[in-house]
Structure 1
Amino acid sequence: MAFCHSWRSYQARLLEEIDDHLKDDKLHFVAAPGAGKTVLGLEIIRRLGRRTLILAPSLLVRDQWIARLVTDYLGGAVPDWISTDITSDAPVRVSTYQNVHTSRTKSLPPFDLLCLDEAHHLRRSWWKTLTRLAERTGCMTLSLTATPPYDVNASEWNNYTALCGPVDAEISVPELVRSGDLCPHQDLVYLAPAANGRDYHDSLVSERALFDDLAGDDALLASLSADPWIVATQTHVAAILDNPVRFSAMLVYLRHNDRPAPPYARRVLQVNDADWPALDWHWLLTLFQEFPTEKLPPTVLTRLKGAGALRNDRLTLPPPAFADRLHLLRNDQAKLDAMPDIYATERAARGTRLRMAILLDRIGKTNLRLSDAPPGFNTLGVFRHLLDHVGQTPMAVLTGQFAILPAALGSGLEGRTVPGVPGYVLVGGALHSDAVSRANRAFSAGDVEVIIGTQSFLGQGWDAPALNALVLGTNLKSFVAVNQLRGRALRTSSTQPDKTAHIWHMAVVPDHRTEGDDINRLKRRFECFVRLDRDARAIHSDFAVAQTVTDQNALAKTRADTGRSLADEWQAALKTDSGPKAKLTTRTVLPSRQRLQALPVPALSFWGRLAAEFGRPPSVSQAQRGIERLARMTIASLSELGDLPPVTADLIPLVAWDGTTWQVGITSTCKLDEAIFHETLQQMFNPVDSPRYVISVKSGLLHSNFQYFAVPDRFGSHKDRARIFWRNWQGYVGRGALVYTRTVDGRGVLQAARISSSGRRTSTRTRWQ
């Protein structure tokens, strides 16, 4: 059994690296759409030579594995040594996650390798079943995905990596564009001002009024000022250290109202005056939850109940009416009006070569005449709206329930006429799949120019290589979902060798300014993928929006109109100083305003320490040396622990200043080493949560100021591991004190660390270089 074709360069690279990743018996590879993920999995299985159970999320994907094996390796019929029956004793079995979950109480014939395809599906019940299966059999795991669930919460991500292991290697989108296996593309942002922007602003004003009332309540202020913990702090130190969160919340509230902290408070919680956080909803909720509801002043209770924040003795802050203001911006008419504008932009740029798809969350009501239906941002609403504005354009609507086609395409499909829409027929039932196939063929040939569909139906598995303009009219923001939808447009087309693609993202804003919750949602979406930055001639994640709606939309239209130069601009951005070894690299990003707070003073030079003594931030050069020391200390500690290779000239930190942020990386070519380094570094720089150990650093004149840093999780599980980190800290950084936080005194230090570090933030940025 051998592969019948030649390996592409990026496939060969990944296959050559297999042996480097076997030490934990977990192989975890990320391969962008178009990278040949299935044949890579088959080749790895062949090379490992183990009895294998392959699992896929659906029957369709399961059958694709068998088809690829027969086509690309055997060139004939399905052999008898492969089976879709998980209870058979075949050397290779192929099944689905659901089948294994349903059969979880059965005893399966032995296997040595568990292959998990589209591993991002492994959450909750499937994850539990497969984790038990892997633990029971002691097998090696091979996990394959195009879209790791990077954006899930920490608990889900830990579950995912516990089963699949850290990402070992990746075949990225830029690699595939460089090789010609994905088309050059760009992401464009279109903003729509909401007609009900006044409601959004009124909500902001109401929320501010509620917060101000609760934050300055006279009765609550009097009660806290007379509390024994405030009046006689020294007498109640033991009780305070038993619940330092309550004491902290009281002090934050009092400081907000210009009430001085008790003199002894600083000795209990060693927090610098400048590091105390401002009162916000989090601290109000913390304070109120520390008291029985009936003990809160009547004025506070009245405001909480009136705002809907207190229901059935359950307190929610901010109240639900303010917590999700996005529904005020999900203005159907604003988004509907954007559709003809985007279509006209693309039609002017591409002419008859335009193949546009608009993906939406909802279908809309089908029991009304479309001409009488209320406008809604759904498949039927967008279809109706485009008909009114660009009625001569041939369109189709594709959903899981029905399809709407031009009458000429519906011949013989027993379609019924669409009320209020002459020239179109609606097809459902048994002939639905035939209608979808016809629509896809017509789309490829140009007889249908626009397809409007639901993301649930077209988002996975829809194969339309002709697609060159994709409008994401969906509220999805998860890494997995967004990248699956974008992947629909990135495929190359044999009929359009020079194909380029545009992916349009939409947000509704309250007024002409580019701000609001929907913009923030969009910024989080852009952290999910890398894109071509045409201004910087670089490839990286995230984006910056123009200052006004008019400027942003004008920029998007200009970018669409100049899309013909995309291929050249991609090739220019792909050429870096690293040459053919260029790859996607990860950087930990530290905002400049945090450099005094986040940098341990002992790590600075003499002049940097002297400046810090007087509360002045270190210079750029001083900060760079301090960050480099922390990064080297991280590498040395991880190497001593055995989680990174021995420290060599090939394993050094990279620290760069771009004028507004510090970006920290590592020279390692191993994806796993890079991930471990950033995970550890960010746990030091980020706000302290609940580590077993923290490092306390005294600074300032007379050592009257304090800094706190978490000992990362990899070192905190045992005292001996913590000492490795502490020993390297002393060698690379300098003085401090290692504090165990699970004692009474340690809890006080932990709370002080949480308060002092609450303003620190890091982010992750991916860049091709």
Structure 2
Amino acid sequence: MSRPSSDATKQAFDRMRFRHDWRNYQMRILSELETHLDDEKLHVVAAPGAGKTVLGLEIIRKLGCRTLVLAPSLLVRDQWIARLRDDFLDGELPDWISTDPEADVPLRFSTYQNIHQNRIRTLPPFDLICLDEAHHLRRAWWQTLIRLQETHKPVTLSLTATPPYDSEGWEWDNYNALCGPVDAEISVPELVLTGDLCPHQDLVFAAQTTDRQTYDDNREAEAELFRSLRAHPDILEMLVRSPWMTDCRNHAQEILDNPELFSAMLIYLRDAQLPVPAYARRLLRLGGAEWPVLDWQWLGIVLAAHLTKLPAALLARLKTAGALRNDRLTLPPPRFLNRVELLYDDKARLAATVEIHRLERENRRDGLRMAILMDKIGHVALKLDHDPQEYNAGAVFRALYLAEPRGDLALLTGQIICLPRALCEDLSGREVPGLPDYALIGGPEFSRAVARVNAAFSTGAVRVIVGTQAFLGQGWDAPAMNSLILGTNLARFVAVNQLRGRALRIERNIPEKTSNIWHLAIVPGDSLEGEDIARLHRRFDCFARLDRNAGQIRSYFSPKGDVQQHNAITAEMARRHDTLAADWQSALHLEHRPEPRLFRETSIGSRMRRQMVPVSSLSWLGRLREMFGQGPSDQETRRSLERLARLAVEALRELGDFSPLQEPRPEIHDGPAGYQISLHQATRFEESLFHDTLRQILDPVGNPRYIIIVRSGLFLKRFQYFAVPGRFDGNRARAEIFWRNWRGIIGQGELIYTRTPVGRGELQAARLNSHARRVAHHLSWR
């Protein structure tokens, strides 16, 4: 990248010099800088402890452009300025740096919120925009930044510790559009290997809900409502008499203009075992396909389209169930959609937290440095002298004290602090009912109390801090922490991983430090299942962790046994924290890989073989098996997946996204989730593009401009559909590149443009036929 800079800008950035030595992994990214800027975007993923801020400042210095740096909060913005002052400018801030985004200076620092709130104004020009913690971008902020990019056309530098891997497809596509594919990564295992993060383990403690009946009643109420709405006589009569059913051929254009509704109507009729017009099946290619099962989504489409025609009794039933409010239909009703909230069982979570604390006390004794992060403060729990029943910071603090009265607890929130009276010298505190050894601090002495708690945590005068994630999760740093309980209800991986990062810091004075990170799961019964467990599966898919049973570093969660057996295994893992460092070293150093690193992997379950594998990629024997309704063999599946992987590589190479000097090598291997596809001998940028492209080929079809149809089966009446990935979807010429490689590597098919009336019908057929496909993404140290 080469952009002209004024003499004043060049002289300003020439004054910046990093005062310390660069680490090897930082030097790697800096030395490869120019190779990543062909698309005017540089996307760097840097784990906590990798020096993300100083790395960003050095990149800004090297590029030497007028720069606007955006941070998610004033606290983070000020941390940037502090690092610039102390590590690059000998402790002084010159006048060419400003926190006013409208200042006409070479380097400006601001926040996303400030830019969004004042987005109408015209900012002075800039050639580089730096997006710190880019995963924080909300939808509205993203739209503002896209407009900012379109106006100023700057180079975009995106820095994050936690890409939103658990986002919906459209969210990830928006994130990629703004930040670009990941160019370089400094991973957590890499930092553990170099000693810049401590060895750690993620542990799940499961507890049964104390109110199983309420949970079961909620599930039964949902099932009963669904039963009452499926095969409903009034709805069936409306659909059967619809002109779309009685005269389908003459209403084909209307149907193709709204294929989703037509699909929902057919699925509803088929669920009731009523005949579906043959022309309708042919129109959406549903003759030999596996029909989607009627679920709330399809039911909601049918009811919403016919809401004004529904009989009064049915409307009353929907209102009573909470599904219809202010003429707005919500299916399933919120009380079923949010059933996971029933598992936020205060009593069960409170008991689990107290038990984890007991285990860690027993294991680490005086060496324990624990933080428990909560969502709510809980003022009432501190004011009333009784056994706590809620699950908040105040209730947990009181419960820990009542379980075993100790003088080394502290409560740290953004509004109040509770600390041992022994630490309250020259601080005026209020009494805490039932806790004679503690005092409440607030008001003007708040900052002094925070500093005192932090200092006491380092020395061991305080060993357990209970706090809110809003206060401790942003900017709070306690390197001595070696045990973290995530008592929050955060579902998103980004927020959870930020909190995990607090426990990974090394403590120079304790080189043997290892950390336990505890996740809570409330389950309905003895089995490890339910909404909370499903949420943990999604969470664990997004970060690489040490699997001590397998001796591998990977992102995978597979709990064993029932609740009691699982917790016994977890407790034993926690006790073995003294061998954690050795287990990490064993998993990090691989004999068959001289320079292992963290790879992304696309995972396909064994049961998905028939839906995923294009029939045209099979041998004649494989096609014969498919013709008689049998899925491809394991060997055929591996060969076909290898061809799909090679298709992604060769098409991207022809597009110019892959270097002609390297020969990327896809690998197909067994994994805990089925078939794992990885790419070797490729840059991080190429690896990102490869997996995004492969995901879009194999995922259920969304809304692409082009799709590929593969015909198979007896008389070619079975259809498979695959999306042309977004990298090739912009115009016909790019789509032809993908199509040409498809024919050369995969085989026959038909390229369809979906923005015509006929194409819209094919697109809906593709959605219906591919709805059951499931692709997962994992991380693995290899």
TM-score category (smaller protein): over 0.9
Aligned residue identity for 1:408: A
Q: Structure 1 residue 567 and structure 2 residue 586: aligned?
A: no
Name the stretch that deviates more: 683-692 or 45-54: 45-54
Q: Distance in 2 between matches of 1:437 and 1:754?
A: 57
What's the CA shift string for 1:587-622, capped at 9, x where partnerless?
A: 111111111122111101121111111111111111
Q: Is the 8 A contact 2:603 2:673 kept in 1?
A: no
3-state SS of 2:422 partner: coil
Cα offset, 1:233, TM superposition? 3.6
Aligned residue identity for 1:400: G
Q: 1:392 to 1:215 in 2, by over 3 A?
A: same
What's the CA shift string for 1:47-85, capped at 9, x where partnerless?
A: 223333333334443343343334333445344544445
Q: Structure 1 residue 748 and structure 2 residue 761: aligned?
A: yes
Aligned residue identity for 1:5: H
Q: 1:104-119 residue pairs with structure 2 within 5 A?
A: 104=119, 108-119=123-134
Report the counterpart of residue 703 of structure 2 in structure 1.
Answer: 690
- Alpha-carbon RMSD across the aligned residues, in angstroms, is 2.2
Aligned residue identity for 1:245: E
Aligned residue identity for 1:180: G
Report the counterpart of residue 757 of structure 1 in structure 2.
Answer: 770
Match of 1:731 among 725, 734, 744: 744
Q: 1:355 to 1:713 in 2, by over 3 A?
A: same
Report the counterpart of residue 613 of structure 2 in structure 1.
Answer: 599
Cα offset, 1:128, TM superposition? 4.3
Match of 1:465 among 479, 485, 495: 479
Q: Distance in 1 between matches of 2:341 and 2:330?
A: 18
Q: 1:496 to 1:223 in 2, by over 3 A?
A: same
Q: 1:94-243 residue pairs with structure 2 within 5 A?
A: 94-101=109-116, 104=119, 108-243=123-258
Cα offset, 1:164, TM superposition? 2.7
3-state SS of 2:658 partner: coil
Q: Distance in 2 between matches of 1:367 and 1:183?
A: 35
Q: Is the 8 A contact 2:374 2:488 kept in 1?
A: yes
What's the CA shift string for 1:283-338, capped at 9, x where partnerless?
A: 111221232x2322455434323322122221111112211112211111111111
Q: Is the 8 A contact 1:370 1:384 kept in 2?
A: no
Q: Is the 8 A contact 2:372 2:465 kept in 1?
A: yes
Match of 1:15 among 21, 25, 30: 30
Q: Distance in 2 between matches of 1:506 and 1:84?
A: 41
User: Which runs of 5 or more structure 2 residues have no equivalent in the other structure?
Assistant: 1-15
Match of 1:361 among 375, 396, 417: 375
What's the CA shift string for 1:220-268, capped at 9, x where partnerless?
A: 3344334443344445444433433233222212221222323333322
Q: Is the 8 A contact 1:55 1:95 kept in 2?
A: yes
Report the counterpart of residue 688 of structure 2 in structure 1.
Answer: 675
Cα offset, 1:580, TM superposition? 5.2
What's the CA shift string for 1:359-411, capped at 9, x where partnerless?
A: 00001134863314752100111111111111125200000001001011012
Q: Is the 8 A contact 2:664 2:680 kept in 1?
A: yes
Report the counterpart of residue 68 of structure 1 in structure 2.
Answer: 83
Name the stretch that deviates more: 244-253 or 16-25: 244-253
Cα offset, 1:105, TM superposition? 5.3
Q: Is the 8 A contact 2:708 2:752 kept in 1?
A: yes
Q: Distance in 1 between matches of 2:556 and 2:712?
A: 36
Aligned residue identity for 1:378: N
Aligned residue identity for 1:275: E
Identity %: 54
Report the counterpart of residue 263 of structure 2 in structure 1.
Answer: 248
Q: Distance in 2 between matches of 1:665 and 1:115?
A: 30
Compute the TM-score of the two structures, normalised by the length of structure 2. 0.93
What's the CA shift string for 1:15-37, capped at 9, x where partnerless?
A: 11111101122222111111111
Aligned residue identity for 1:19: E
Q: 1:599-638 residue pairs with structure 2 within 5 A?
A: 599-638=613-652
Q: 1:372-451 residue pairs with structure 2 within 5 A?
A: 372=386, 375-392=389-406, 394-451=408-465
Match of 1:652 among 647, 661, 665: 665
Name the stretch that deviates more: 220-229 or 350-359: 220-229
What's the CA shift string for 1:177-217, capped at 9, x where partnerless?
A: 00111100000001111111111111111211211121122
Q: Is the 8 A contact 1:198 1:510 kept in 2?
A: no
Q: Is the 8 A contact 1:116 1:143 kept in 2?
A: yes
Q: Is the 8 A contact 1:627 1:655 kept in 2?
A: yes
3-state SS of 2:546 partner: strand
What's the CA shift string for 1:713-735, capped at 9, x where partnerless?
A: 22222122222222221111111
Q: Is the 8 A contact 1:586 1:766 kept in 2?
A: yes
Report the counterpart of residue 498 of structure 1 in structure 2.
Answer: 512
Q: Is the 8 A contact 1:589 1:763 kept in 2?
A: yes
Q: Is the 8 A contact 2:381 2:395 kept in 1?
A: no
Q: 1:744 to 1:122 in 2, by over 3 A?
A: closer
Q: Is the 8 A contact 1:197 1:329 kept in 2?
A: no
Q: 1:592 to 1:560 in 2, by over 3 A?
A: same
Q: Is the 8 A contact 1:611 1:617 kept in 2?
A: yes
Q: 1:436 to 1:24 in 2, by over 3 A?
A: same
Q: 1:531-570 residue pairs with structure 2 within 5 A?
A: 531-570=545-584
Report the counterpart of residue 5 of structure 2 in structure 1.
Answer: none
3-state SS of 1:562 partner: helix
Q: 1:302 to 1:71 in 2, by over 3 A?
A: closer
Q: Is the 8 A contact 2:457 2:463 kept in 1?
A: yes
Q: Structure 1 residue 452 and structure 2 residue 442: aligned?
A: no
Match of 1:370 among 370, 373, 384: 384
3-state SS of 2:582 partner: helix
Q: Distance in 1 between matches of 2:522 and 2:474?
A: 26
3-state SS of 2:278 partner: coil
Report the counterpart of residue 29 of structure 1 in structure 2.
Answer: 44
Q: Is the 8 A contact 1:370 1:421 kept in 2?
A: no
Q: Is the 8 A contact 1:30 1:146 kept in 2?
A: yes
Name the stretch that deviates more: 54-63 or 470-479: 54-63
Cα offset, 1:90, TM superposition? 4.0
Q: Structure 1 residue 296 and structure 2 residue 310: aligned?
A: yes
Q: Is the 8 A contact 2:381 2:388 kept in 1?
A: no
Cα offset, 1:468, TM superposition? 0.5
Q: 1:40 to 1:258 in 2, by over 3 A?
A: same
Q: Distance in 2 between matches of 1:98 and 1:298?
A: 47
Aligned residue identity for 1:2: R
Q: Is the 8 A contact 1:183 1:492 kept in 2?
A: yes
Q: Distance in 2 between matches of 1:164 and 1:656?
A: 31
Name the stretch that deviates more: 720-729 or 751-760: 720-729
Name the stretch that deviates more: 718-727 or 108-117: 108-117
Aligned residue identity for 2:25: Y
Q: 1:369 to 1:48 in 2, by over 3 A?
A: closer
Q: 1:498 to 1:615 in 2, by over 3 A?
A: same
Q: Structure 1 residue 92 and structure 2 residue 107: aligned?
A: yes
Compute the TM-score of the two structures, normalised by the length of structure 1. 0.95
Q: Structure 1 residue 663 and structure 2 residue 676: aligned?
A: yes
Q: 1:68 to 1:596 in 2, by over 3 A?
A: same
Q: Is the 8 A contact 1:268 1:748 kept in 2?
A: yes
Q: 1:507 to 1:668 in 2, by over 3 A?
A: same
Q: 1:177 to 1:446 in 2, by over 3 A?
A: same
Q: Structure 1 residue 337 and structure 2 residue 351: aligned?
A: yes
